[in-house]
Amino acid sequence: LLALLAAALLLYVVAFPTGPSIQKSAVPLHRHTYSDPTPNPAANSDPSLESGLTSNLDLPPVPEGQGNSTQCCGAAAMASAPLNPIQLQIPGRSNTTSSIVDWVTEEDSLPNTIWAQEQLFIAQHPLDCRASRFHIVPLRTCGLGCVIHGLSFALARSLDAGAVLLVHNPGSWHFSPVGPFFEALSNCSLPACMPPCKSHAKPFQFLPAYEGTTKYNRVPKRFRHYNLAWWRAQSARYILRRPEEWYKRKLEGMATALLPFGLPPRPCISIHVRRSDKRTEVRDRPLAEYMRAAEQVRRALPEASRILLTTEDDQVVDEATREYAQRWQFYCLMEERHNWSHLKAAKEKGGQWLQDLSFVGLYAHLWCDALIITQSSNWCRLIHEMRATG
């Protein structure tokens, strides 16, 4: 009987290893993520992401401080900004035990991150491209998080089919996260003659663009023991690996202009309050809910009195600096906020500007020790996924 119980326990451990469900035990203590534990069901949120780290530690409340009279947000702050050079936490090459993967480490990452990145790299870099099968996917016209998650679904489907994923952009999308800014998805490239060219006999299959519904919540079969959150984090890290040095320098120059006071001293909390076109899918969460979550985090990190706040809505910044300045010091991107949709922002400001601004915000959020987001946004989940792989 004891032998049968031991065998059953071993089978359970093998079948259900410790995964990246967003809980306190899965995230290192100094890198918390707080997320709304009850997302709106109409938001097409990922089922595996519905429980978040609430940081509801049973600790005494922090006494009220003397406040922070100096704020690093708004037009008034801009007049006294020192314009300190910023070095963003842009993931680059690192020292690892892998002979293939040099863009992540196991430190501060989800379980088996290096192994997963090796699997993706090998699958996408065949020894002979001429003997390979290909899946070709267009890039959907939507926000950066939506597009990366669309590529994640396409990559999962390609892995299951034994095919190499390539991106074919017919020019309908307004930015380009793969190609000249990051290392290409594969060592293979689109042939000069694609179907319906009869002279090209190699099999090609065109995948549909990602539509953002729950049927696209797919984990490759080889990673079936891990959940969707783990897979999304691995695929996002692979897609956005090895940014070009010139692009890193460009983003850091842009960050220096947009964050003239620099990044907040650690320990700090980062918050993204999603607005603009997201309100057509889910109701706006009031800033007060985010600040209550920040108080929970502060009970665990009493010295975390500084907040990096990003949003598309100027009213959120005004409310933060007006209602919470006595207890918190806010750092914001000094940008014009119009609450535009991604399409309108790209039309008014240009796709390249929108892409660069998005990546500056993304990498700035990797700096702080805690993250407060909602799960209903592809963009917010992408921030968490990038943090989850170091």
Return d(Cα 146, Cα 377) in angstroms, integer.
Answer: 9
Partners of residue 371 on adjacent β-strands? 33, 270
Chain CA centroid to CA 215, Å: 21
pLDDT in tens, the chain (390 residues): 666 665 554 443 333 333 222 222 233 323 444 444 333 333 333 433 333 333 333 333 334 443 454 567 765 565 556 666 777 666 655 555 567 888 888 777 899 999 999 999 999 999 988 888 888 887 777 778 888 888 899 999 999 999 999 887 644 445 555 557 888 889 888 765 455 544 444 566 766 655 544 556 789 999 999 999 999 999 999 999 988 888 889 999 989 888 888 889 999 999 999 877 666 666 778 899 999 999 999 999 999 999 999 988 888 888 999 999 899 999 988 887 776 777 777 777 777 788 888 899 998 999 999 999 888 788 889 999 999 987
pLDDT at residue 77 in the model: 62
Q: List, in sequence order, the alpha helices (H) in 129-177.
A: 144-161
Contact 92, 248 (CB under 8 A): yes
Q: List, in sequence order, the alpha helices (H) in the chain.
A: 2-15, 74-78, 113-124, 144-161, 228-239, 245-258, 287-300, 314-323, 342-349, 351-365, 378-388
Partners of residue 311 on adjacent β-strands? 273
Rounded to two decimals, what is the model's pTM? 0.75
pLDDT at residue 99 in the model: 73
- Enumerate domains of the chain plus CATH numbers: 106-240 (no CATH), 245-388 (3.40.50.11350)
Q: Which of 210, 216, 211 is nearest to 47 (CA)?
A: 216
Contact 275, 284 (CB under 8 A): yes
